[in-house]
Structure 1
């Protein structure tokens, strides 16, 4: 895998470190790619990652070589997503996509010498950005006044349910014979 710069959250970096230790124990061929990803990545706090960067559980649109655009959710384990809608970070493509930004291109080299190029077209959803947006909305909601707002005023002759209405009388109104 050749890549310019990639940016990982501390959480995603930790996931890759654990994955590397487990894969080393079995002499997995993806170990070299994991080591390169970890050594060449910029690591940032979760709350400051750019929303156009692919993180775990992000939904991204990408192209492989000159092929059609594909939309996938990058997952830690493929078992957690519906078939065809997820891309596991344990695969070469998934590992390559992790940490890439919209518009960025990277190349993957396979053990047989074959190469493919991956270009990120869009990041449709990123959990970190969604969490920040929700937090900002919550802060904005807290800045609003907590008092009651009158949205409708009923006429005075309408009484609450269960209350009996009395006789409505004005100054010039004669109460009639029943008042005598």
Structure 2
């Protein structure tokens, strides 16, 4: 796998294509990085993505150059609370990590002309993996060992005797418009 190669789910690819369409023009600094990601991507369904690939909403541990490891959640939009927890894919580092596998590095050009290397150390949580595990558990235990989620609440008249209306001798029990 080349250094730029990444693995994207169909959902992640669609989001990147929309981001590229919305780039403000040729001067947008994200446009070349978006093209690079899209062109080098291997596209898979969410059920087929490996658990070691960073997908949208994955919690990842990564290092920039030879710095200390950082842990972030790859998010779609910038989120500020709690501060420092999220890394949006609308930022160069977030976009660089999307689709990268554990142990893989991604060289990212920086504004000052230098290049920084991001290395994905570990995917700590991946929503697709969790979804597969939940579905697998549901297949093994159809009821899931849980009680039903709905509870019947009886009305105020439950158990009371109902007033009966006797039919007229001719079998017709409609009181007519005056009863309304």
Q: In which range does the TM-score fall when normalised by the shorter chain?
A: 0.7 to 0.9
Report the Cα distance in structure 2 between the residues aligned to 1:137 and 1:81, rounded to whole angstroms: 33
Report the Cα distance in structure 2 between the residues aligned to 1:3 and 1:109, rounded to whole angstroms: 14
Q: 134-143 or 85-94, which moves further after superposition?
A: 134-143
Report the Cα distance in structure 2 between the residues aligned to 1:26 and 1:104, rounded to whole angstroms: 29
1:57-114 per-residue CA deviation (whole Å, 9 max, x = no partner) reads: 0000000011001000000001275210010101110110000001111110124211
Equivalent position of 1:150 in the other structure:
none
CA RMSD of aligned residues (A): 2.0
Which structure has the larger Rg?
A: 1
* Runs of 5+ unmatched residues, structure 1: 145-180
Equivalent position of 2:137 in the other structure:
137
Residue aligned with 1:46, SS: coil
Are positions 1:72 and 2:100 aligned together?
no
Displacement of 1:3 in angstroms is 3.1
Indicate how the Cα distance of structure 1 residues 4 and 28 shifts in structure 2: closer, same or farther if over 3 A, else same: closer
Equivalent position of 1:20 in the other structure:
20
Which structure shows the higher helix fraction? 1
* Runs of 5+ unmatched residues, structure 2: 145-180
- The within-5 A match list for 1:1-180 is 3-25=3-25, 27-79=27-79, 81-142=81-142
Residue aligned with 1:78, SS: coil
Report the Cα distance in structure 2 between the residues aligned to 1:91 and 1:133, rounded to whole angstroms: 30
CA contact 2:4–2:36 (8 Å) conserved in 1: no
Report the Cα distance in structure 2 between the residues aligned to 1:65 and 1:45, rounded to whole angstroms: 31
Report the Cα distance in structure 2 between the residues aligned to 1:86 and 1:47, rounded to whole angstroms: 24
Question: Number of residue pairs matched?
Answer: 144
Report the Cα distance in structure 1 between the residues aligned to 2:34 and 2:5, rounded to whole angstroms: 14
Dislocated runs of 4+, deviation >6 Å: none
Residue aligned with 2:72, SS: strand
